[in-house]
Amino acid sequence: MDEIILELDGANMDIDFLPKTKLGWKQAQCPWNKADGTNSHKCAVKNTSICKYFRGIIKEDVVLCAYKK
């Protein structure tokens, strides 16, 4: 099937890397939460905010995050 990829603005979503129990897949840890020793950083909070370090999503579940060198 031929297809085109569309970039759609304004998604209303929740994305975070907070530790969860009984998760059915391997999950990375937010580097900002790890450095700060907190769980305050969340990529996107539905109806609320988008993290200033959030840079997008690629593939099906890979989040792009800006982090200091």
> 51-62: per-residue pLDDT in tens?
999 999 988 889
Helices marked H in 1-69: 31-36
Distance CA 62, CA 13 (A): 14
Dihedral sign computed on CA atoms, order 25, 31, 35, 36: negative
Distance CA 32, CA 43 (A): 11
- Section 42-56 average pLDDT: 93
> 2-37: per-residue pLDDT in tens?
998 888 888 888 999 988 878 888 889 999 999 999
**How many C-beta atoms lie closer than 10 Å to residue 30's C-beta?**
24
